[in-house]
Chain A
């Protein structure tokens, strides 16, 4: 295989990796605060993908308009899920297992709900951008991939600024290392948890929109966050920066492998590599190992 093809594949992979990075961060930010694996994130992604589809075909036939509305909607859904499903067990101080069971339940409800209503149909997004390509030397960059990559980067940079520069962001980071202590410093923990779910929902909105745009909208689109979750493991659970790096790496590796050895064996190699990685270096790239604390 020539070098150009390899570089081309890596380039494509990085754009897809941008979406994996969004998923990894959306998954990781809730893990950081509440320390449970939030599978409901996949459900929110599915809801947002359907919402983005309906809004863009029925009401706002423009890319930026429908993307913005989907993002806002995602944030609202994130808050709703938190208030309805997680807050009641959080104020009762229930064990972490309950949070997890509720989160897979939300994922299941969403998937089965959309299967029951519109399961038999596939919904392709309208073609917002004419499938044009840029020529960069010998490389070909598709416009929609470029858009995906730049939007993912913009969202992640905005999030990083928010977490570092604003008071709320700093409170979220404080709550990540320990959720109880900031409450003693006058931080409203309930509000922080809501905002965290809102951020995760916003990321889910972007993810759902892009996944719907790249593939088609099906009830199973939420299962695609598995890739993001895997990126989150490779990056080191709960490390947002590590998740971003790992997401991009995973995307690049995946499309390279697909080109090199074929699409059917690629997932086998990737999952096997992850099991090996966990044996050798469970803390992931970022080197932060979460263990059970007293």
Chain B
């Protein structure tokens, strides 16, 4: 029972990591607001089921829809600009969503959060979802879509010069990532049965990025392994969960200096 709970949590968080991978690992865009999309998904799912009595499956679809909408609102004005604007606005967006959740207390329960969400996402659904998303992202990373991403990451100007529509491509990647995050958030809500606004702050979003860089930004399997190790460790050794972040932090600095391809990654020489 305990281990299946650990497995569920690990897989849900791995879905979050997988959702960031195309964005940060491949395209080199950093979103410190990924937590906001997770929260949007989780809250949409919870409110849909509890207040509007929708079946969980429909709430999940709705969660993805609202996640995509949020992605459009943030992405369209900022992705035209330099990456730093995108990064900082996503950061601001996550703070805004947090403030909104606190403010709309009648709908969201404010700081108390929402409890009593029906349990609708057991291990089978989570495992199938994680596997599906892994293969989705893996297929993306084999396609021309991936080559476009990497071209944008390594040299945006050159990517534009060979005819990639950089702006449009970034929007596609960001919306893909936002929708997967929102779906993961919905799974989280239906699995944990309790959500509150402070669950997904910027630090949580930052960790997703850091895990990708420790795992290796060119290696999807490495990233997945790293996230499984990190989150399993955190669940099994609950008492050490803060020290785990310190280890991760020191690890990423050492890795970026001495082994930039990541712990499990391979890097092709240019």
Contact = CB atoms under 8 A, between A and B. Distances in A.
A, B assembled together: yes
Contacts of A95: 28, 154
B90 to A, nearest CB: 10
Nearest to B92: A271
Contacts of B99: 264-265, 267-268, 271
B253 to A, nearest CB: 6
Contacts of A294: 157
Interface of B is mostly: helix
Interface in B197-254: 202-203, 206-207, 209-210, 213, 242-243, 245-246, 249-250, 252-253
A104 B253 contact: no
B88 A282 contact: no
A102 B242 CA distance: 18
A88 interface: yes
Given A31-B84, A226-B95, A290-B82, A85 B253 contact: yes
Contacts of B80: 282
Contacts of A282: 80-81, 85
B113 interface: no
B119 to A, nearest CB: 31
B128 to A, nearest CB: 32
Contacts of A92: 257
Interface of A is mostly: helix
Given A107-B206, A109-B250, A274 B89 contact: yes
A104 B209 contact: yes
B260 to A, nearest CB: 7
A112 B242 contact: yes
A119 B88 CA distance: 27
Contacts of A292: 82-83, 156-157
B95 A267 contact: yes
Most chain B CB within a 10 A radius of its CB, from A31, A97, A237: A97
A97 B28 contact: yes
Contact of A278 (B78, B246, B260): B78
Contacts of A107: 206
Nearest to A109: B249
Interface string B72-110: 011001101111110111011101100110110000000
A188 B151 CA distance: 33
A268 B249 contact: no
Contact of A101 (B77, B92, B210): B210
Nearest to B32: A104
Nearest to A238: B84
A98 B243 CA distance: 23
Contacts of B253: 84-85, 102, 105-106
B115 interface: no
Contacts of B209: 101, 104
B140 to A, nearest CB: 19
B57 interface: no
* For the complex of A and B, 5 pairs with smallest distance between CB atoms: A271-B96, A109-B249, A267-B99, A279-B77, A116-B242
Given A92-B257, A105-B206, A108-B245, 7 more contacts: A37-B87, A100-B87, A104-B210, A105-B253, A108-B249, A233-B88, A271-B93
6 contacts: A89-B257, A101-B210, A104-B206, A229-B88, A268-B99, A272-B96
